[in-house]
Chain A
């Protein structure tokens, strides 16, 4: 199941979108999310959808893979679509079957909301699919830098994020090991009632927490020995480069927003 999950996964590649600076991608996605709410006519929604599909093409991520991985979200989209169809009672009556009445406005709203939802999910997935988590962290750190003026711990937050990301696979391995060790002792988390299963998770979590704290302590000492004294006076090894691609991407987005403005009903 985890294999097919697209949300939050990174697929390395070499495309226009992959090569964008994480800062421009983050700015792009944030502006895009806001811009989605500008659309209110069929043409404007069509433009959004077309633009999203073009972005996916530019990223060279396979559309089939993307759609396949978003199945759980698709269910949610279908659900909101149906809600709108059945509960909006405006416009002309299109179809009637017993107590089911579908109105024109309902159909339209259903499609609009689904497209809006779909476009948002696709764009944000595209961000995480084409940007490694560590680049996203770097981009965020730089973008949030102005917040340092109000004493917001930007550097610490970014370091926390990058260390957590780095330890996810380590802790996954550890969980697997503990799970096997507990299975060998006769613990069973895959059968029994809900209550029994939840109880069986406890002997899994306790050793995991203990070792995570131990690791944190070791890591803190290793960091201190290597001269870590907080963000001040530090230089950065990861350099972000803003080039013509980033400017182009944001200009295209600007053009799309202007077009959206004119296509509004």
Chain B
């Protein structure tokens, strides 16, 4: 397994000259292997978005190093490293640069000087991967939020990135749009083994990840598989995070004297436990 990202003791403050200011990201370290999906979860102001910006080199840490694909990220190799990463932001409207879907997907390719012949192939290919290939000439204001986010993902994919960062990419979407985007990511991972970092405050989304990093007040609060991390239950709600629906329900059921296994995270598992409940007695 290749290590594609390693954060070592990152500290970053937006106002480094002010001695009283607190660090937005304070001593965070973690590694990521190729093909992994890591969800970074936290309440507003927990430093999770700042972390994403440090990884893609929009910000540089005051202390610590960001290692990408084996080398530390510096001002000199910034553009080269960035061309191997894609990032999708929160607001679907504010990241749509092109006049039409295909122009927008081509934007990053144009910036990186990809020749025209190859560009058309890659645009077509990227749009097929997110199932937007029939929308080539559509203008952004005729698309739904979920469709715009899928185009944004295609725009990142066209560069064939090794790492895709989703910075709350689903938080402004309606449930349907959210599902569209998540399904696309799941399929991409299955087919191409793309590495994904998703910054989110939706714990249902975090459940899909291989590993969860929980941020609080700029520090790493917990790290592990979703199953391990969500067992902390109460401690997470204290941070202002909403536990997955199935977990909350199973806790409430237990209060009512209905035995459920601790650590039931998905609705399917809960349903399974409930319908076998009677026969187990």
Write the chain B residue with the least CB distance to A167.
B93
Number of interface residues of B (CB under 8 A): 38
Tell me, yes or no, whether A233 is within 8 Å of chain B by CB. Answer: yes
Write the chain B residue with the least CB distance to A232.
B113
**A195: B residues at CB distance < 8 A:** none
B95 to chain A, nearest CB (A): 4
Q: Encode contact with A along B84-102: 1 for CB under 8 Å, 0 otherwise.
A: 0001010101111111101
C-alpha spacing A249/B56, complex, angstroms: 50
**B89: A residues at CB distance < 8 A:** 218, 221-222
Of the candidate stretches A32-40, A185-193, A236-244, the one touching chain B is: A236-244
A201 to chain B, nearest CB (A): 24
C-alpha spacing A236/B102, complex, angstroms: 12
C-alpha spacing A239/B103, complex, angstroms: 11
Tell me, yes or no, whether A196 is within 8 Å of chain B by CB. Answer: no
Q: Quick check: B96 and A229 within 8 Å, CB to CB? A: no
Q: Quick check: A170 and B119 within 8 Å, CB to CB? A: no
Q: Quick check: B103 and A238 within 8 Å, CB to CB? A: yes
The answer, among A169, A226, A239, for a CB contact under 8 Å with B111, is A226
| B53-85 with Cβ < 8 A to chain A | 56, 58, 79, 82-83
C-alpha spacing A215/B97, complex, angstroms: 11
The answer, among B79, B114, B140, for a CB contact under 8 Å with A170, is B140
**B102: A residues at CB distance < 8 A:** 237
Q: Quick check: A229 and B99 within 8 Å, CB to CB? A: no
B266 to chain A, nearest CB (A): 33
Q: Quick check: A215 and B87 within 8 Å, CB to CB? A: no
Of the candidate stretches A58-66, A97-105, A121-129, A158-166, the one touching chain B is: A158-166
Quick one: which of A169, A173, A225 has the most chain B CB within 10 A? Answer: A225
C-alpha spacing A70/B196, complex, angstroms: 54
Q: Quick check: A237 and B79 within 8 Å, CB to CB? A: no
Q: Encode contact with A along B158-170: 1 for CB under 8 Å, 0 otherwise.
A: 0100000000000
Q: Quick check: B91 and A234 within 8 Å, CB to CB? A: no
The answer, among A173, A218, A229, A236, for a CB contact under 8 Å with B79, is A229
| B136-179 with Cβ < 8 A to chain A | 139-141, 155-156, 159
Write the chain B residue with the least CB distance to A218.
B94
Q: Quick check: B58 and A219 within 8 Å, CB to CB? A: no
Quick one: which of A166, A235, A236, A237 has the most chain B CB within 10 A? Answer: A237
**A234: B residues at CB distance < 8 A:** 110-111, 113
Given A165-B99, A226-B108: A170 touches B116 (CB 8 Å cut-off) = no
Q: Quick check: A166 and B119 within 8 Å, CB to CB? A: no
Q: Quick check: B119 and A237 within 8 Å, CB to CB? A: yes
C-alpha spacing A223/B141, complex, angstroms: 19
Given A233-B113, A235-B114, A239-B116: A222 touches B94 (CB 8 Å cut-off) = yes
Tell me, yes or no, whether B181 is within 8 Å of chain A by CB. Answer: no
| B94-133 with Cβ < 8 A to chain A | 94-100, 102-103, 106-116, 119-120, 123
Write the chain A residue with the least CB distance to B90.
A218
The answer, among A170, A226, A229, A233, for a CB contact under 8 Å with B107, is A226
B186 to chain A, nearest CB (A): 23
Q: Quick check: B112 and A227 within 8 Å, CB to CB? A: yes
Q: Quick check: A227 and B82 within 8 Å, CB to CB? A: yes
Given A222-B89, A227-B82, A227-B108: A235 touches B113 (CB 8 Å cut-off) = yes
The answer, among A165, A173, A215, A235, for a CB contact under 8 Å with B119, is A235
* Interface positions of B (Cβ within 8 A of A): 56, 58, 79, 82-83, 87, 89, 91, 93-100, 102-103, 106-116, 119-120, 123, 139-141, 155-156, 159
8 more contacts with CB within 8 A, not counting A235-B114, A235-B119, are A169-B140, A214-B94, A222-B89, A227-B79, A233-B113, A236-B116, A237-B119, A238-B103
List 17 A–B pairs whose Cβ atoms lie within 8 Å, in order of A's numbering: A134-B100, A162-B98, A166-B140, A215-B93, A215-B94, A222-B94, A222-B97, A223-B97, A226-B97, A226-B155, A226-B156, A227-B82, A227-B108, A234-B113, A235-B115, A237-B109, A237-B123
